[in-house]
């Protein structure tokens, strides 16, 4: 039996709880359906650039939006639309 020596841990920007990276959804700056800059889901975790992590639950998403956590975690000066993340979370249900 192989015991992993290191398991990556990340903090959810919504609830601020720590979890294993594989349990969280990575979000990055991308573009929405209209070509405007937006916070977009990165379920494979391979998109280039700075990312933030979020539990794939609407409660954590709502907390992140209310606290303006996406802009802070992604080091943005202006707030971006996060509708693509909401749409992705809704498609999981």
Q: What is the domain-level CATH number for residue 29?
A: 3.30.1230.10
Domain range spanning residue 51?
Answer: 9-92
Residue 64: CB atoms within 10 A of its CB come to 26
> 44 lies in a domain?
yes
| pLDDT for 56 | 96
Q: What are residue 89's phi and psi, to 5 degrees? A: -65, -40
Tracing tokens 């996060």 back to the chain, one arrives at 82
Note the pLDDT of residue 93. Answer: 74
What is the total count of domains within the chain? 1
CB 56 within 8 A of CB 13: no
Cα dist. 14→3, 8, 71 in Å? Answer: 30, 18, 12
Query: Is position 2 within any domain?
Result: no
**Does 75 fall in a domain?**
yes
The HSE-up count of residue 91 (CA atoms within 13 Å, CB side) is 8
User: Is residue 3 a part of any domain in this protein?
Assistant: no
Residue 18 falls inside a structural domain: yes
> How far apart (Å, rounded) are the C-alpha atoms in residues 48 and 27?
11
Residue pLDDT, tens place only, 45-64:
999 999 999 999 999 999 99
pLDDT confidence band for 78 (50 / 70 / 90): confident
């Amino acid at each position: 039996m192989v015991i992993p020596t290191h398991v990556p841990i990340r903090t959810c920007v919504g609830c601020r709880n720590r979890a294993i990276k594989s349990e969280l959804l990575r979000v990055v700056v991308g573009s929405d359906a209209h070509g405007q800059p937006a916070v977009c889901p990165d379920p494979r975790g391979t998109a280039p650039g700075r990312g933030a992590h979020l539990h794939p639950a609407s409660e954590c998403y709502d907390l992140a939006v209310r606290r303006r956590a996406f802009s802070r975690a992604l080091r943005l000066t202006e707030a971006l639309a996060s509708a693509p993340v909401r749409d992705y979370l809704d498609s999981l249900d």
